[in-house]
Structure 1
Amino acid sequence: MAAPALKHDVYQAIADPTRRKLLTLLADKEMPITEISSCFPITRTAVNKHLHVLSDAGLVSRRKVGRETRYTLQAEPLIELKRWLAFFEQYWDERLFALKELVEADHNSGGEGE
């Protein structure tokens, strides 16, 4: 049986800067919504909506502890993002190598404006 489809993909979920900050905040510890909300200049309702997007993408999990809901980072879905970015590293490496050669060639030819 196939896994249930997520409502939001990882890329859509991390597109928003507030959601990226939420992931960073939850990287170290589980936190209740009240504590999370105090770290942002937006309403608790807005924070809750962002957390739902992250939860729908599988990036955070939530659990009830008494009357409060606690959230924690689930980093596994970020592997997809890491793989996608790794594909493009080769292009950055090539461009940085070409820039290094250009700078060194300019330096060796006396192109420092002396």
Structure 2
Amino acid sequence: MAHGLKHSAPIFAALGDETRLRLVARLCVDGPLSIARLTGGEGVTRQAITKHLHVLAGAGVVRSIRQGRESIWELEPKQLEEARRCLDRISHQWDDALGRLKMLVEEP
């Protein structure tokens, strides 16, 4: 479990910012997008969006593909799956701990 947490920590750190979380959600819904498209409606500068995307890329959550003069950004599902598995393990541990507590409390 500790290895999974260590491996997933950069992902959770990157997703801990509201703007980056919105970018990931947008890529989930709309698929691969250019920075220009990602900037639209965000109320954040293109430079700020670029910085946020680079943080996400550093955590392995997104990647860019060059198309002509533009960079198209897309999700890296493998990293998001790793984060989901980590949360599933933590959830299972909590369920086990709550089950043990319930047995202790209900013991005559």
Q: TM-score, normalised by structure 1?
A: 0.68
The ranges of structure 1 where at least 4 consecutive aligned residues each deviate by more than 3 angstroms after the TM superposition are: 92-95
Deviation at 1:88, TM superposition (A): 2.6
Matched, 1:19 2:24: no
One-letter amino acid of the structure 2 residue matched with residue 11 of structure 1: F
- d(CA) in 2 for partners of 1:53, 1:62: 12
Q: Quick one: which of 36, 39, 47 aligns to 1:37?
A: 39
Match of 2:87 in 1: 85
The more displaced of 43-52 and 83-92 is: 83-92
- d(CA) in 2 for partners of 1:77, 1:39: 27
- Larger Rg computed on CA atoms: 1
Which secondary structure state, in structure 2, belongs to the residue aligned with residue 52 of structure 1? Answer: helix
Match of 1:111 in 2: none
- d(CA) in 2 for partners of 1:13, 1:35: 21
Mark the runs of 5 or more structure 1 residues left unpaired by the alignment: 1-7, 99-114
May I ask how many residue pairs the two structures share in their alignment?
90
- d(CA) in 2 for partners of 1:79, 1:54: 15
Deviation at 1:52, TM superposition (A): 0.4
Deviation at 1:92, TM superposition (A): 4.8
- d(CA) in 2 for partners of 1:45, 1:51: 10
Mark the runs of 5 or more structure 2 residues left unpaired by the alignment: 1-8, 103-108
Match of 1:112 in 2: none
Q: TM-score, normalised by structure 2?
A: 0.72
Aligned-residue identity in percent:
33
- d(CA) in 2 for partners of 1:9, 1:88: 17
Deviation at 1:45, TM superposition (A): 0.5
Alignment root-mean-square deviation, CA? 2.3
